[in-house]
Amino acid sequence: MGSYNYYKMFGCFNRKFKISESEPPPDVREAFWRFTEGDSEMTPDQLLKFMVHHQREESCTAADVESIMNHVLHRRYHSDTRRNFTLEDFFYFLFQDDLNGPIFPKVHHDMTAPLHHYYIYTGHNSYLTGNQLSSDCSETPIVKALENGVRGIELDLWPNSAGDKVHVLHGRTLTTPVPLLKCLKSIKEHAFVKSPYPVIITLEDHLTPQLQAKVAQMAMSTFGDMLYCPESGILEEFPSPESLKHKVILSTKPPKEYLGASNITVENNSSPSPLPNEKESSDEDQEPEPDPDIDPGDKSEGDDEDTDSSNKKPEATEYKRLIAIHASNAKNKGLRQVLRVSHDRARRLSLSEQELERAASLYATDVVRFTQHHILRVFPKGARVNSSNFRPTIGWIHGAQMVAFNMQGYGKSLWMMQGMFRSNGGCGYLKKPDILMKQSSAGEALDPRLPWPVRKTLKVVVYMGDGWRLDFSHTHFDAFSPPDFYTKIYIWGVPADNAKGKTRIIEDDWAPYWDEEFKFPLRIPELALLRIEVREYDRSDKDDFGGQTSLLVSDLRPGFRAVPLYDKKGHKFKSVRLLLRFQFE
């Protein structure tokens, strides 16, 4: 920034931007000389030793090394006639994120455990194109979410004004509806373009029994054999993602026997209702008011799902059969009560972000214990009318499998969600760590608030960055000088592990070189997320955004790694990346 004010004052001068080739950091040079034993070239055998001993890739083979060397030589020289790496070839390889990325690029988690053993990439109000009150409803954001690997899609079902068709929209708002059938067909066409693992459709149902029957017919005709329906009608235990490949699963509250058409609210979006307050329960899974002659206290939570069906509307029978994952919420029930574990059935519970925060502060181990047997879905509070999101780690550290997010915007919380689910090949399912699924000898589940001892230390060396000069115009950051980059680094996990650090500012350089080390002592490293953000310092205004990413600490690959950065909407930059080193002690 030293020359910024000068050239701002005398704008007629045209400063030439400094473009210099990045050079290997001293640590990279040292590793090259160590594994080549002082020679000027690295052989395939020496590269293999480097991969196994320095990068800790024990499964790396001679064939893998040959593939790496061929890729590098083709890219650098358009030839594979040379066999060995020079120092420059070696450095080039280390800075290629597709060849040397920070996480393993394919599915590698065990996918054979029951569904509730996994974090699931989940959307909230998946049909909305913008804000929660007046944006259009469309199948387009559903398609986009599926193409990005989202596995949980939420649809709000309402009757149209005539009461004879099913619309998808955010009820009691000015959002314009989209026909349910269009959403279902879009899900079928795009469900498995990114991942073969199951898509869970959570339904917020405000329908009459007759319209529920129409939904059942539409679902069966659209999905056919793709639709998963348990043979017994009730899941005693969730199947595994592996066994549910290419399946679509419906989840909602099964119809109540005493609900009639007179109890159902018909869609009316002519005027919005007042904004939801902080204490409001989610729209999801909310049911119409019960018959006043029925005492809602007669049935404990979940017991109403499978009572005698002698008074049931016949039209809803097939609809109920299609609901594979039975759902409930905390409406009109105490938090402690809804967190009771049921051992005779597998179910899903929905809590708002405020309800989760309260449960986590009062009953943390109860929440974790619940998720050891059932699925917990957490959704944004109704006051987030601009489609913002809450910090997802509060759900993850308590075992919540479905942290439901508004996917249409951007922000730090959504960046964390997107980064988390790039792990495990981007398949939308991440195996939860054993620490969340096991109980102590005394039968206690994990309490994330306890002062656990440090179990592992993550060392991160931020060497350098490059690629902005290719992905940005030369005047994007500063009109008269090269940018002044710095890197911010965060750990998000259990409260005791949360930490942050920042590099110094490198002035006037498109390829900043920091070479700074950060140490993060971790109590529960299995639940930690590493968030990285590059910013460009601006003395007179807000610092400019230069890229971001989030990485699951338990999936980090040790050694030198090329870390690609992403834009504000989560799209990967073509060239912008950092060279980092990860070490665990």
Say whether pLDDT at 61 is over 60: yes
Q: What is the dihedral sign for C-alpha 501, 506, 511, 514?
A: negative
141: helix, strand or coil: helix
Which position among 117, 170, 206, 326 bears the catalytic label? 170
* CA distance linking residue 309 with residue 279, whole number of Å: 34
Instruction: Report the phi/psi class of residue 449: left, alpha or beta, with left for phi > 0 and alpha for psi in -120 to 50.
Output: alpha
Domain parsing of the chain, residue ranges:
26-94, 115-272+281-289+313-437, 451-584
Residues 1-26: tens digit of each pLDDT: 444 444 444 444 444 455 557 899 99
Task: Count CB neighbours of 302 within 10 A.
Answer: 18
- Give yes or no: 373 in active site: no
Contacts of 551 (CB under 8 A, 6+ apart): 102, 103, 419, 422, 423, 529, 530, 531, 532, 563
- Phi and psi at residue 352, to the nearest 5°: -75, 165
Read off the pLDDT of residues 448-474 as tens digits, 9 standing for 90 and up.
Answer: 999 899 999 999 999 999 999 999 999
Contacts 24+ apart (CB under 8 A), 469-476: 469/17, 469/19, 469/510, 469/511, 470/574, 470/575, 470/576, 471/573, 471/574, 471/575, 471/576, 474/17, 476/544
Q: What would the pLDDT profile of 246-291 be if each residue is shown by its tens digit? A: 999 999 999 874 344 444 445 444 334 444 433 334 334 333 333 3
Query: Is residue 392 scored above 50 in pLDDT?
Result: yes
Going by pLDDT thresholds of 50, 70 and 90, the confidence category of residue 384 is very high
Q: Which of 160-169, 199-208, 337-346, 544-553 has the lowest mean pLDDT?
A: 337-346
Q: Are strands 248-252 and 199-205 parallel, antiparallel or unpaired?
A: parallel
Catalytic status, residue 476: no
Cβ contacts of 405-409, under 8 Å, gap ≥ 24: 405/122, 405/123, 405/124, 405/380, 406/123, 406/124, 406/125, 406/128, 406/132, 406/380, 407/123, 407/124, 407/126, 407/141, 407/144, 407/145, 407/148, 407/150, 408/128, 408/129, 408/130, 408/141
Phi, psi of 113 (to 5 degrees): -80, 165
C-beta of residue 124 within 8 angstroms of C-beta of residue 384: no
Q: What tokens does 517 get?
A: 């080390």
Helix or strand holding residue 549 (H, E): strand 544-552
Please tell me the distance from the alpha carbon of residue 466 to that of residue 512, in angstroms, as a whole number. 7
Six-digit token string for 371:
């998720």
**Percent of the chain clearing pLDDT 90 (strictly above):** 78
User: Under a CB-based contact definition with an 8 Å cutoff, are residues 289 and 263 in contact?
Assistant: yes
Q: Residue 521: what are its φ and ψ, rounded to 5°?
A: -70, 130
Cα–Cα distance, 51 to 31 (Å, whole number) = 11
Q: CB 232: neighbour CB atoms within 10 A?
A: 7
- How far is residue 445's CA from residue 296's CA, in Å, rounded to a whole number? 31
Cβ atoms < 10 Å from Cβ of 555: 17
Catalytically annotated residue among 109, 117, 124, 398: 124
Confidence of residue 344 (pLDDT cuts 50, 70, 90): confident
d(CA 568, CA 559): 27
Fold of 451-584: Immunoglobulin-like (2.60.40)
CATH of 115-272+281-289+313-437, one of 3.20.20.190, 3.40.50.1000, 3.30.200.20, 2.40.30.40: 3.20.20.190
Query: How confident is the model at residue 262, as a pLDDT?
Result: 41
Q: Nearest Cα to 68, choosing from 89, 53, 88, 52?
A: 89
What's the pLDDT score for residue 12?
A: 40
**Confidence tier at 27 by pLDDT (50, 70, 90):** very high
- Distance between CA atoms of residues 510 and 482, nearest Å: 6
- Return the sign of the alpha-carbon dihedral for residues 83, 86, 88, 92: positive
Q: In this predicted structure, what is the pLDDT of residue 442? A: 76
Where is average pLDDT lowest: 13-22, 164-173, 222-231? 13-22
For tokens 């179910």, the residue is 347
26-94, CATH topology level: Recoverin; domain 1 (1.10.238)
Tokens of 8: 């701002």
Please compute the mean of the pLDDT values over residues 136-151 and round it to a whole number.
98
Task: Work out the number of other CB atoms within 10 angstroms of the CB of residue 165.
Answer: 16
pLDDT for position 513 = 97
Three-class SS string for 378-415?
EECCCCCCCCCCCCCHHHHCCCCCEEEECCCCCCHHHH
Instruction: State the DSSP string of 473-487.
Output: -TTSS-SSS---EEE
Angle formed by the axes of helices 364-371 and 353-362, nearest 10°: 110
Q: What is the mean pLDDT of the chain?
A: 88
What's the pLDDT at 315?
Answer: 61
Residue labelled with tokens 């500012």? 505
DSSP designation for 467: -
Rounded CA-CA distance 313/528 in Å is 49
d(C-alpha 481, C-alpha 13), whole Å: 11
Give all strands of the β-sheet with 485-492 in edge-to-edge order: 499-502, 485-492, 529-536, 544-552, 559-566, 572-584, 456-466, 513-522
Distance between terminal CA atoms of the chain? Answer: 38
Residues 175-223 pLDDT 10s = 999 999 999 999 999 999 999 999 999 999 999 999 999 999 999 999 9
Residues 6+ apart with CB under 8 A from 83: 43, 44, 69
For 464-520, what is each residue's pLDDT tens digit? 999 999 999 999 999 889 999 999 999 999 999 999 999 999 999 999 999 999 999
- Partnered with residue 518 across adjacent β-strands are 460
